């Protein structure tokens, strides 16, 4: 072959296959969505159109890859759990990460006009992706509890923050100052006494994120998420996990400020 003297460069490509017999947890996250959400005038704290578009893209990924058994989404991120025994792309990490991330991204862009008919895309959104391996189901359970606690912490903070700004007339700097050092209970109190908002009655999607199951996996994987009724699962396909109590327990002691979210803005 004419190019065989060049073919040796192929040997610089290193194998990157992932350890067999471990759960693959694939997470993607919108790149600079703080800016993206501003530029596209997302409703704050939660733009339901954007969340539904994320769910749509995640469903497309799950449809294309049967080895994904479960997905959890919040804000600009989605996590996907792959079967321990998956042999997808011979478990090559960069092949899996890049292909799934790009499929999600193209679905997000392709379906954008269905969710934002009056808001043309101003520029090209992108997502980062990574895979973490977990050897046991215990870690999978804790992983999803961690992401869902993050949803809760950020949403409680953001909901209170935006109430102070949008209804309380505070500047963003003032609202951050008001919330600095506050605990969960005090945020609930601000929402209720100053704005008449009962946090626990807000859309559960905002408080707990969304979960995509395959029906055939429901029984097997619902044990990861304690208090979920099978009617909910069948009815919506996108459903909710854990009780507020379980969430509060998970987050105990980590409540002073959100891990991310609107804090970066001031």
Asked if residues 251 and 104 have their Cβ atoms less than 8 Å apart, the reply is no
Q: CA nearest 241: which of 92, 99, 70, 89?
A: 70
Distance CA 86, CA 162 (A): 43
Question: Is residue 51 involved in binding ligand ATP (CB under 6 A)?
Answer: yes
Can you tell me which of 23, 70, 71, 75 binds ligand ATP, judged by CB under 6 A? Answer: 75
Question: Is residue 127 involved in binding Mg ion (CB under 5 A)?
Answer: no
Asked if residues 144 and 228 have their Cβ atoms less than 8 Å apart, the reply is no
Distance CA 35, CA 136 (A): 37
**CA 208 distance to own-chain centroid:** 10
Question: Is residue 47 involved in binding Mg ion (CB under 5 A)?
Answer: no
Residues 6+ apart with CB under 8 A from 203: 46, 48
Binding mask 192-231 for ligand ATP (x = CB under 6 A): ----------------------------------------
Question: Is residue 32 involved in binding ligand ATP (CB under 6 A)?
Answer: yes
Which 3 state secondary structure label does DSSP give 239? Answer: strand
- Binder of residue 148, out of Mg ion, ligand ATP, none (CB less than 5 to 8 A by kind): none
Distance CA 263, CA 56 (A): 28
Question: Is residue 160 involved in binding ligand ATP (CB under 6 A)?
Answer: no
For the bound state, the minimum distance from the C-beta of residue 154 to ligand ATP, rounded and expressed in Å, comes to 7
Asked if residues 53 and 112 have their Cβ atoms less than 8 Å apart, the reply is yes
**Quick one: 75 or 158, whose CB is closer to Mg ion?**
75
Owner of token pair 């704005």:
195
Can you tell me which of 24, 25, 28, 50 binds ligand ATP, judged by CB under 6 A? Answer: 50
Binding mask 77-96 for Mg ion (x = CB under 5 A): x-------------------
Which 3 state secondary structure label does DSSP give 82? Answer: strand
**Quick one: 22 or 159, whose CB is closer to ligand ATP?**
159
Question: Is residue 30 involved in binding Mg ion (CB under 5 A)?
Answer: yes
Question: Is residue 56 involved in binding ligand ATP (CB under 6 A)?
Answer: no
The residues binding ligand ATP (CB under 6 A) are 29-34, 37, 42, 44, 46-47, 50-51, 75-76, 260-262
């Amino acid at each position: 072959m004419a190019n065989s003297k060049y073919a040796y460069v192929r040997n610089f490509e290193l194998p990157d296959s992932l350890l067999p017999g471990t759960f693959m947890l694939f997470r993607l996250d919108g790149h600079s969505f703080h800016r993206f959400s501003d530029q596209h005038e997302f409703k704050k704290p939660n733009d339901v159109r954007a969340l539904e578009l994320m769910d749509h893209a995640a469903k497309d990924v799950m449809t294309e890859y049967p080895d994904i058994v479960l997905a959890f989404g919040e804000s600009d991120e989605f996590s996907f759990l792959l079967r321990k025994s998956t042999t997808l792309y011979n478990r090559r990490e960069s092949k899996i990460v890049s292909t799934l991330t790009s499929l999600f991204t193209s679905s997000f862009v392709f379906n954008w006009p269905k969710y934002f008919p009056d808001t043309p895309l101003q520029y090209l959104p992108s997502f980062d992706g990574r895979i973490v391996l977990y050897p046991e189901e215990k870690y999978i359970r804790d992983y999803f509890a961690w992401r869902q606690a993050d949803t809760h912490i950020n949403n409680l903070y953001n909901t209170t923050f935006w109430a102070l700004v949008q209804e309380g007339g505070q500047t963003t700097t003032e609202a951050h100052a008001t919330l600095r050092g506050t605990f969960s209970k005090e945020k609930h109190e601000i929402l209720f006494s100053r704005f008449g908002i009962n946090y626990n009655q807000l859309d559960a999607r905002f408080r707990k994120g969304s979960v995509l199951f395959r029906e055939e996996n429901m029984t097997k994987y619902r044990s990861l998420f304690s208090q979920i009724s099978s009617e909910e699962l069948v009815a919506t396909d996108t459903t909710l996990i854990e009780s507020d109590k379980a969430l509060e327990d998970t987050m105990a002691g980590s409540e002073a400020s959100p891990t991310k979210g609107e804090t970066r803005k001031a």
